[in-house]
Amino acid sequence: MKKNIILSFYLLLLANLTSAQQFSLPSLRFEYHAYEPYIDAQTMEIHLTKHHQTYITNLNKAVSGTKLEKLSLNQLLLNAGMRSDAVRNNAGGHYNHTLFWQILAPENKQGEISNELRSAMDLEFKHLDSLKKKLEVAATKHFGSGWAWLIVTPDKKLKVTSTSNQDNPIMDVAKERGIPILGIDVWEHAYYLKYQNKRGDYLNSVWQLIDWKMVSSNYLAALNDTLLQEIADDTWPEIKEFHKVMAQTFHSVEKNDFLPIQARSGEMLAKAILLSESVIPMSYQKPEIKTALIKLVKECNELDKLVKKNAKKIFIKTKMFQAHDTFHLIQGLCKD
């Protein structure tokens, strides 16, 4: 009996831990006053505990009890254009501020830039000063509230860009997409107490607080993040379409359920042909990809024929695995 009570208590605890994802406020890396004289303690405190906290509270409210509550923050951002304004603004607000706090440090607590990031910067901007200038232009020319960004694009290059409100470059609504490794908040709430309307003075100050060691580790993480692949897929709608059919048929075949592929082998062939004839985005332009696309059409054609003539399941399964391998040569590692 006692054992049963302990067990049900444990199960209840487990259920609670695995239930609704609630986003929560991160803590700052340093005390509020540590960022002075560049950003005053009061601004830091209000910015974190009032503004950032409000995005989190509203995000939790917007997703709770809906099917969105099981999604990660990145997944909420990726398809922000299909979500409500409440989800788009508050998921963005939470992500953007979390990155902002992470890359700021007092001067004597900042680390060095990595060799990898320095070479990538030299390639794109020649000099750190010209990156600074580009960020300033992005931030000062931006009308109204928004963010200036340094991002890693799907073809793994660095780029400076800006977005409005709480949007960010992960979102499908952004013109230039990628993973941000540095973000500067250019909402008035980020600087008004100390700098009033002088956005330029604030930008000069915030530049003194950037911890290049953090930005460097963000750079490395972004290069290896599967999210970059997802953003790349977004810029190639035909691969997304093909991937859907592949994902919804292949995993069933793995479990010896052939019904989905029997129903959709023709559709998969059609999507493979559309994919092979589509415009290949820059980030995918390699000779191996072209060869693999031709191979994929051939294998989907053979698979369709095997299905249509009711071939032995082992032949269908083998061909399906071939097509799946070829697809992932093109698309990168399997995520489902």
> Which positions lie near Mn ion, rule CB under 5 A?
185, 187, 190
Minimum distance of Mn ion from residue 93's CB (angstroms)? 7
Q: Rank residues 93 and 178 by Cβ distance to Mn ion and give the closer one.
A: 93
Q: Alpha-carbon distance 117 to 161, whole Å?
A: 18
Can you list the pairs that 59-64 forms with residues at least 24 positions away whose Cβ atoms lie under 8 Å?
59/23, 59/86, 59/87, 59/90, 59/91, 59/93, 59/94, 60/22, 60/23, 61/86, 62/86, 62/87, 62/90, 63/21, 63/87, 64/20, 64/22
Minimum distance of Mn ion from residue 96's CB (angstroms)? 7
Q: Alpha-carbon distance 174 to 169, whole Å?
A: 5
Q: Rank residues 146 and 178 by Cβ distance to Mn ion and give the closer one.
A: 146
Q: Alpha-carbon distance 238 to 334, whole Å?
A: 17
Minimum distance of Mn ion from residue 225's CB (angstroms)? 24
Q: Rank residues 46 and 334 by Cβ distance to Mn ion and give the closer one.
A: 46
Minimum distance of Mn ion from residue 46's CB (angstroms)? 10
Q: Rank residues 87 and 261 by Cβ distance to Mn ion and give the closer one.
A: 87
Q: Rank residues 32 and 236 by Cβ distance to Mn ion and give the closer one.
A: 32
Minimum distance of Mn ion from residue 270's CB (angstroms)? 47
Minimum distance of Mn ion from residue 209's CB (angstroms)? 15
233 in helix, strand or coil?
A: helix
Q: Rank residues 174 and 184 by Cβ distance to Mn ion and give the closer one.
A: 184
Q: Alpha-carbon distance 33 to 102, whole Å?
A: 16
Q: Rank residues 136 and 185 by Cβ distance to Mn ion and give the closer one.
A: 185
- Return left, alpha or beta for 196; rule: phi > 0 is left, psi -120 to 50 is alpha, else beta: left
Full DSSP string of 166-223 = T--TTSTT-SS-SEEEEEEE-SGGGTHHHHTT-HHHHHHHHHTTB-HHHHHHHHHHHH
Minimum distance of Mn ion from residue 188's CB (angstroms)? 9
What angle in degrees, to the nearest 10, is found between the helix axes of 313-331 and 237-254? 140
Minimum distance of Mn ion from residue 51's CB (angstroms)? 5
Q: Alpha-carbon distance 301 to 228, whole Å?
A: 30
Q: 52 has which bridge partners?
A: none
Closest residue by beta carbon to Mn ion: 185
Q: Rank residues 50 and 313 by Cβ distance to Mn ion and give the closer one.
A: 50
